[in-house]
Amino acid sequence: MLNELSPNAKLFIIAIVLLLLLPFIVFLLPFTISQTFYFSKDNIVLITLTSNFTMLFLAIAFIILTLIMLGFKRNKYTYLISIITIVSGLILGYFSLLSYIAIQNTQIVFKEFHHQITYEWQDIKEVIYEYEIGAAGTYYFQTNNNEKFVIRENGQFGLDEKSAIYNLANDNSATFVEREKVK
């Protein structure tokens, strides 16, 4: 009996293990899920949103804090709070895996956990690529209906992706402007 861990110690150990694994889970899981489940041959670039990482971090933080709370004190109120926060954390964690931006051969898709917006390439009137030397660039899109949206480059944009976006804009009669960012 003296060699066994108490339930409080087990909860603290689980919380510490989750805390140590937190960076790996937060940085790898959203990216891996989006590249696996939302992969398509039509994708030129598939961007995992920053909000995905933030929501997953909060979800795991809720669970860690709940485990710590249960490690200190357990009664019917802490169990009720624990159930609510763990369910909230799981729901938030699920929502953190649903959002992405996909630039495809026929369209640009903005998928968030509660809605999806699709812009066809033939509806794009103008694409402006603004860059700063030594930093990631930004694409500004304007549709024929004068809707505007922005996509910031990340590490997934290489020369092939930039030239594919340029070619798609030209093939669909959209003007493509490339300019250096003015400070």
Gap between the Cα atoms of 110 and 102, Å rounded: 7
- Indicate if the pLDDT at residue 1 is higher than 60: no
Q: Lowest mean pLDDT: which of 23-27, 41-45, 79-83?
A: 41-45
Mean pLDDT to the nearest integer, 108-130: 91
Digit-coded pLDDT (tens) for 44-70: 999 999 999 999 999 999 999 999 999
The domain 115-180 having CATH identifier 3.30.420.10: the answer here is no
Residue 30 confidence (pLDDT): 92
Phi-psi region for residue 47, left (φ > 0), alpha (ψ -120 to 50) or beta? beta
Digit-coded pLDDT (tens) for 3-18: 788 888 999 999 999 9
Domains of the chain by residue range: 7-95, 115-180
- Cα distance between the two ends of the chain: 69
Gap between the Cα atoms of 40 and 43, Å rounded: 5
Residue 84 confidence (pLDDT): 95
Residue 2 confidence (pLDDT): 67
pTM: 0.85
Mean pLDDT, the chain, as a whole number?
90
